[in-house]
Amino acid sequence: MMRTFLILSLLFASPARIWAAEASGTIAVVNNEPIFASELQKEAEPFIERYMKTAPEKDQTPDKIAALRKEILDRLIEEKLLLQEAKTRKVRILKTEIERGTEQFKEPFKMDEKGAERSPADIERAFQDQLIKEGLTQDQFNKRVEDQIMKVKLIEQEVKAKVEMPKDAEVRAFFDKIKDKMAAKPVKTANKEEDADLVQISKYLDRMTGEQVNIRHILVRSARTEPASARAEARKKIDGIMQKVRKGEDFPTLAKKFTDDPLSKERGGDLGFIARGDLGLPEMDAVIFKLKEGEVSPVIETEIGYHIVKMREKKPPTALDYDDVKEDLANYMAQRIFTQKLEKYLKDLRAKASVKVNPLN
């Protein structure tokens, strides 16, 4: 997991990563270069926060949090090693690459606080204000962008360039395993990683080839944990909307006016094509997949509130065809090989380095 996360963090580093300040307190030393405790704290904080919100309560233990912090520290050490190796190998970065990299970090400033589009001058002003807030000069920021690009280029040159695409016979064998997994047949795998891949891909392809429906919906939000009076008020509101639907009023217009779903509101309640389980609301699945095209559901009660659904279009299940997925599967297999090679490359870098880690509090 952390290997994939390392790759993503290098390719899509957030401004927070680039702007992270180096404060006092050393948590590790990598070939005489420090990693500061504040750097680890800033990096770990959002992941620990997300973990505490999503992990089962029984898993929210000090040992689990410590293990997560250690994983993140290991990644910071690996990134430090990559940058040192890139400098040793004199990886060259063009000025235009730094300029393109800097432009990517201006993306969040293209809209103002109200969602209105900023002019180029206002984008630059907002970006410079952020640099001042972080205590960085433009040159310092550019240097951090350059360091990030150097790490990416090193990986591309030393790892990615040495990855060959799998042969067709290998891809077809992988495809056959996926088909067996989808059919709940026993599948012989090389290791747990391959088995996890098969489970993940088979679920995805099962969804893509299974029945799909295109629907609009209107939601009146009211959690089951709310007081009975609030639930009754929400039920009264959805019943009133249903009366308008039955009188023939335009469904998209009603959705724009009444739905509590911000993601589909401006699209007139359009959720696009979905498969079973996509909504995470079994009560919805039990009703909508039985609707005919053009048909409107009765009021559906779920854990988040009350829904009215209109069926727009239905797609029947389709057969899984090798030619339709072989290119995606080949890319997936190549990515897996790349991840394995990157893991070995990082392991080798660390083996020849001097790394000292202070105890984590």
CATH number of residue 245's parent domain: 3.10.50.40
Structure tokens at 194: 């391959």
User: Residue 30: how many CB atoms within 10 A of its CB?
Assistant: 22
Is the domain of 308 the same as that of 344?
no
Is the domain of 43 the same as that of 61?
yes
* pLDDT value for 251: 97
Residues in the chain, overall count:
361
Whether residue 322 lies inside any domain: the answer is no
Classify residue 297 as left (phi > 0), alpha (psi -120 to 50) or beta.
beta
User: CB-based contacts of 327: which residues, under 8 Å, 6+ apart?
Assistant: none
Domain around 252: 212-315
Whether residue 50 lies inside any domain: the answer is yes
Residue in the structure block whose two tokens are 């001097």:
354
Whether residue 46 lies inside any domain: the answer is yes
Is the domain of 96 the same as that of 63?
yes
- Give the closest residue to 302 by CA, choosing from 327, 285, 317: 285
Whether residue 320 lies inside any domain: the answer is no
The answer to whether residues 284 and 306 touch, using CB atoms and an 8 Å cutoff, is no
Structure tokens at 212: 């799909």
* pLDDT value for 24: 53
Predicted structure pTM score: 0.69
Is the domain of 183 the same as that of 138?
no
Per-residue pLDDT of the chain (361 residues; tens, 9 = 90+): 444 444 444 444 444 455 444 445 899 999 999 999 988 998 899 889 988 888 888 888 999 999 999 999 999 999 999 999 999 999 999 999 999 988 888 998 998 887 789 999 999 999 999 999 888 899 999 999 999 999 999 999 999 999 999 999 999 999 999 999 999 899 988 788 888 889 999 988 988 899 999 999 999 999 998 999 999 999 999 999 999 999 999 999 999 999 999 999 999 999 999 999 899 899 999 999 999 999 999 999 999 999 999 999 999 999 999 999 999 999 999 999 999 999 999 999 999 999 999 987 6
Whether residue 245 lies inside any domain: the answer is yes
Question: Which neighbouring-strand residues pair with 150?
Answer: none
Structure tokens at 169: 């016979």
The answer to whether residues 161 and 141 touch, using CB atoms and an 8 Å cutoff, is no
Is the domain of 38 the same as that of 118?
yes
Is the domain of 10 the same as that of 118?
yes
Whether residue 297 lies inside any domain: the answer is yes
In degrees to the nearest 10, what's the CA dihedral of 29, 34, 36, 40?
-60
* pLDDT value for 123: 92
- Give the closest residue to 212 by CA, choosing from 269, 293, 304: 293
* pLDDT value for 115: 79
* pLDDT value for 361: 64
Strand 212-221 relative to strand 270-275: parallel, antiparallel, unpaired? antiparallel
Is the domain of 111 the same as that of 235?
no
Is the domain of 219 the same as that of 261?
yes
Is the domain of 7 the same as that of 139?
yes
Whether residue 323 lies inside any domain: the answer is no
* Total of domains in the chain: 3
* Interior angle at CA 339, CA 80 and CA 343, nearest 5: 45
Beta strands in 20-165 (DSSP E): 26-30, 33-36
In degrees to the nearest 10, what's the CA dihedral of 251, 253, 259, 265?
110
CATH number of residue 114's parent domain: 1.10.4030.10
Is the domain of 44 the same as that of 64?
yes
Whether residue 321 lies inside any domain: the answer is no
262/308 Cα distance (integer angstroms): 15
Beta strands in 10-51 (DSSP E): 26-30, 33-36
Is the domain of 181 the same as that of 139?
no
Is the domain of 309 the same as that of 352?
no
The answer to whether residues 264 and 270 touch, using CB atoms and an 8 Å cutoff, is yes
